[in-house]
Copies of this chain bind each other. A is one copy, B any other.
Amino acid sequence: MASIFRRFASSSSTGGLVQSIRRVLSEQQTDVPVQVHGWVKSVRVQKRVAFAMIQDGTSTESLQVVFQNPILAHRLTNGAGVRLTGKLCASPGSGQAVELVADTVDVLGECDPATYPIQKQSLTVEYLRDNAHLRTRTSASAAVLRLRDQSQKALSNYFSRHDFTYAHTPIITSLDSEGAGETFRIAPVKPLPSSLGHSSSAQSEEFFSQPAYLTVSSQLHLEALANSLSRVWTLSPCFRAEHSQTSRHLAEFWMLEAEWAFTDDLDDLCQVVEHLIKEVLRMDSPDRRLLWKEGNKQKQELLNTAASDKAWPRITYTEAIQELEKQNAATGQFKFNPQWGKSLSSEHERWLAEDLVRGPVFVTDYPVELKPFYMRLNDDQKTVACFDLLVPFLGELVGGSLREERLHLLEQALDRHSLSRDAYRWYLDLRQFGGVPHGGFGLGFERLISWLSGIENVRECIAMPRWAGRMLL
């Protein structure tokens, strides 16, 4: 019987995978035969020698290839997929430490330079959005995806070291919004024939026997888990059916959310957020450097300052309003009058971060009327124990709060927001049975990437963006 089972074949020595260009460039093993695979980024054929830059997307840098016989390079075109063999040698050029002197070339995937949508000249942001399936073939777009990966790892390391458990929270939910904006609804699925036991009533047309929505936040679900696992976090897709067309909003975006038990101090909450984000800001990332190459120097300096040991300032909403009023009295610069009890407008948020503080700032303790029902009421009865983290040139990056753990106050808050106690029975149960002081926050992942990279629009901070009216692929 054993004879019918086949065993390992070709690439078993490398675990089934070819050698990546990242590995070739980092190990720099010269004068041994090497095989590389990748795509042609550029070709330059001269009389007696040819050069090509080859990239496989595993590293920021391309590999320079030298063809001592320029005929070898004749079939190479930008975008073509190739396999090359040769030897790695110290490079006499200044741009790289090593280069590949190639003996053989195989074109694995041809690319017609006349029709290839990703031409070498600079392509507009809009053109690349229209070609979302090919967009990551540009260096910047590929760097963004690697930067997302690196950032996620840094976040994950922080949470791991601090005993947080990663949790997958539901995407389809029965909660229709908590007032967080418009919610996508799942269309009813046609019922099965009644012979299969399904009645034909209106309700049974709902696949889940009740209306189903796409999640706008994992917070309430994470709170359930934090009241048993103590510390949980997730990086989960969230959805808002908003028609707004800004550089900071997507209909589908990724939100990092964390919740933890046994905290009753807003300063502690802010400290966790600050430590977490500084860990990401301090990553060494060649991809980030690539993306900042053409970025705004002033922004970049502010970002470097934010990464320093100096603690990010914290200011109450009430103090922020006072500062804004003073500034407005002196300059009249704001379109919207700052006023206690009103939301901070975008111009207010930016002035606080860019001018007053010149860096990230936690604004805390907003009026209860401005915030969702679940935030913990302060002793003044007028404000809640919450914060928004505002950063220069972006505005709100993180929002968080202590959660109301006192059952009767939470019930009153539901009533005040005209939310049904019945619908939130399970959420009230968390308080009823061993509920302890806890808190958490949400961070827009694409906004973090935008801040980290200097890329203006979050549509360029995700592989395949979706917004009102637009969903390719």
Contacts and interface: CB of A to CB of B under 8 A. Distances in A.
A417 interface: no
Interface in A298-346: 311, 313-315, 319, 323
B174 A5 contact: no
Interface string A434-461: 1111000000000000000000000000
A463 interface: yes
Given A15-B162, A189-B182, A172 B239 contact: yes
A165 interface: yes
Interface stretch (A66-74, A90-98, A105-113, A375-383): A105-113
8 closest A-B pairs by beta carbon, nearest first, are: A16-B271, A81-B436, A57-B229, A5-B313, A9-B267, A16-B268, A208-B471, A111-B434
A393 interface: no
A405 interface: yes
Contacts of A12: 271
Contacts of A280: none
A190 to B, nearest CB: 9
B434 A109 contact: yes
A18 B170 contact: no
Interface string A8-38: 1111100111101011000000000000011
Interface string A70-86: 00000000011101000
A462 B109 contact: no
Interface stretch (A131-139, A289-297, A408-416): A131-139
A171 B170 CA distance: 13
A473 B16 contact: no
A356 B2 CA distance: 10
Interface stretch (A42-50, A120-128, A142-150): A142-150
B170 A152 contact: no
A470 B136 contact: no
B17 A268 contact: yes
B116 A433 contact: yes
A142 B228 contact: yes
A221 interface: yes
A186 B189 contact: no
Given A4-B323, A5-B314, 4 more contacts: A17-B162, A37-B261, A111-B434, A172-B239
A464 B169 contact: yes
Given A145-B167, A426-B133, A262 B108 contact: yes
B83 A262 contact: yes
B149 A225 contact: no
A224 interface: yes
A334 B340 CA distance: 76
A429 interface: yes
A272 B16 CA distance: 6
Given A231-B20, A268-B17, A435-B81, A172 B6 contact: no
A52 interface: no
Given A225-B136, A241-B207, A466 B57 contact: no
22 contacts: A4-B315, A5-B314, A7-B314, A12-B271, A16-B269, A37-B230, A37-B261, A57-B165, A57-B230, A79-B434, A109-B436, A133-B427, A148-B167, A149-B167, A153-B160, A172-B239, A174-B471, A184-B187, A184-B207, A186-B186, A207-B251, A208-B468
A1 to B, nearest CB: 8
A15 B437 contact: no
Contacts of A168: 148, 237, 254, 462-463
A210 interface: yes
Contacts of A437: 108
A285 interface: no
By CB atoms of chain B within 10 A, which of A83, A134, A251 has the most? A134
By CB atoms of chain B within 10 A, which of A22, A37, A463 has the most? A463
A191 B90 CA distance: 62
A366 interface: no
B210 A471 contact: yes
B134 A8 contact: no
A236 to B, nearest CB: 8
Given A271-B8, A464-B221, A473 B174 contact: yes
Contacts of A169: 463-464
A1 B81 CA distance: 59
